[in-house]
Amino acid sequence: MLIGLGIGLALADSSVVTLALPDILREFDVEIPQVAWVLTSYNLVLALSAVPAAYAARRRPVIAFVLGTLVFAGASLACGLAPSFGALVGARCVQALGGAVLVCAALDLLTEVVGSDGSAVRTWALAGVIGAALGPAVGGILTETLGWESIFLVQAPLALVTLLACWRLRVRPLVEPAGRPNLGANLALLLVSGALTAALFLLVLLLVDGWRIPAAAAGIVVTVMPAAAIATSAVASRFGGLVTRSACGCILIAGGLTALGVLPGSAWWWTIAPQILVGVGLGLTLSALTERALHGRSPQAVHGGWTIAARHAGVVVGLLLLTPVFTTALDRNEDRALRAGAAAVLDSSIPPLDKLGVAQDVLALVRAADREVPDVRRAFDDRPDDAEYRTLEEQLVSELDRAVTAAFSRPFLLAALLALAALVPIFLARREPSL
């Protein structure tokens, strides 16, 4: 369905550039806290503009969907052609404005198309889950094959195609007063979205920047999570009421994030089981909380705007909370890795006169990386291909991998606490009807 495609595109943009961040970081010569604003700016503007956009969209939903889509497509093109980092962030803000309008207007359009509020909400929520979950995987594959700019250049024509859904579509304007939002469901959405930031943002950084996996390969690895989320969303209604699904989903997300925080090794296959847990939890929780937030509330476009605001405010909270924790841990564990690496060089069986040279080369690579994970294998490019050097090389790589993996541990565990915190508003609101 074309309307669902528009929703998916707009909500995928909250995470679609995650695997492209390392390339953007290098191209524009910025650091991790700065490059995170490519994600933060979009989610912040989307969170702030969703409710005003929903109020505007309810009066002329077809016109709002068309205008929002045109703004989104134009800003996507500007992102792909951005000449500087500032221009990219600015275009992302405009893109978010268009995305907020089209997503909120789409809910009323879906009601007209499918004929019932309940079916429209479920379709709207499912499109959002699919878009947000698939975003990093699709973005990673495009980044590796066509460059990070292609993420945005592909979006522009796809967004314009969705306008065909508005052909001859007539929707009655809604002007009745809007009741208060469901605070419990929306607060839970905020906390869960903050927790999912670690799964979508930090996991990608760990794979690409930490373990030096190519972006396309990392994109394939992280498809496990959306696959589990989509499969679960399709059968989520069989798992009980909305409270049960929401609570179980939060627990599964927290369990998956905890597992990512205590990984026993630095290989991609260790992330598969945690991703499945997070994906199943995502499929259960987001759809259930969105349905709960909209159930029995009219006009739905306005309350849909509240859910979008809550979800993307959570992403912003997650990024602002987890990024400094991660960068501090990375600096601390880098120092530990250097000390362990120096000990490995001194204890190695390579010629004594060459030990100082290897140590100096490794230190130079670390300093040149400037808060990125260095490729210490380059220190051995011009050295003999002997067993002693190969053994030392693998020891240094292993120490670095352990340090990087440890740096991600605390942010993942902190995100797991956010997921568990969402249980509080879920259970406080459990006595409300329809659960």
The reported pLDDT for the residue numbered 417 is: 94
In a domain, 48, yes or no: yes
* Domain shared by 114 and 50, yes or no: yes
Provide the sign of the torsion angle of the four alpha carbons 213, 204, 325, 253, taken in this order. negative
The reported pLDDT for the residue numbered 435 is: 42
* Domain shared by 300 and 418, yes or no: yes
Mean pLDDT by 10 residues, the chain (435 residues): 84 81 82 80 92 86 91 95 94 95 87 76 79 78 87 92 79 64 90 86 80 80 86 80 91 95 88 94 88 74 86 87 73 63 72 73 63 66 77 74 79 92 86 50
Residue pair 408/326 in contact (Cβ under 8 Å)? The answer is yes
Residue pair 79/88 in contact (Cβ under 8 Å)? The answer is yes
* Domain shared by 305 and 368, yes or no: no
Compute the distance between CA of residue 103 and CA of residue 312 in angstroms, rounded to an integer. 13
DSSP per residue, 192-245: HHHHHHIIIIIHHHIIIIIS---HHHHHHHTTHHHHHHHHHHHHGGGG-SHHHH
* Domain shared by 315 and 338, yes or no: no
Compute the distance between CA of residue 91 and CA of residue 97 in angstroms, rounded to an integer. 10
Compute the distance between CA of residue 26 and CA of residue 35 in angstroms, rounded to an integer. 10
Phi/psi class of residue 371: alpha, beta or left (left: φ > 0; alpha: ψ in -120 to 50)? left
In a domain, 156, yes or no: yes
CATH number of the domain residue 16 falls in: 1.20.1250.20
Task: State the residue for tokens 């909120």.
Answer: 104
* Domain shared by 413 and 339, yes or no: no
In a domain, 361, yes or no: yes
* Domain shared by 95 and 226, yes or no: yes
Length of the chain counted residue by residue: 435
* Domain shared by 187 and 255, yes or no: yes
Alpha helices in 115-197, H assignment, sequence order: 117-146, 149-161, 183-197
* Domain shared by 19 and 54, yes or no: yes
Residue pair 403/333 in contact (Cβ under 8 Å)? The answer is yes
* Domain shared by 377 and 365, yes or no: yes
Q: Under 8 Å CB-to-CB from 431, ≥6 apart: which residues?
A: none
Compute the distance between CA of residue 375 and CA of residue 209 in angstroms, rounded to an integer. 10
In a domain, 433, yes or no: no
* Domain shared by 200 and 348, yes or no: no
The reported pLDDT for the residue numbered 290 is: 86
Return the amino acid letter for 31: E
In a domain, 239, yes or no: yes
The reported pLDDT for the residue numbered 15 is: 79
Task: State the residue for tokens 């409270």.
Answer: 243
Q: How many domains does the chain divide into?
A: 2
In a domain, 285, yes or no: yes
The reported pLDDT for the residue numbered 296 is: 64
Domain limits for position 133: 2-168+183-329+407-428
* Domain shared by 312 and 419, yes or no: yes
H and E: helices and strands count for the chain: 18, 0
396 CA to centre of own chain: 31
Cis peptide before 136 (omega within 30 of 0): no
In a domain, 174, yes or no: no
* Domain shared by 362 and 416, yes or no: no
In a domain, 173, yes or no: no
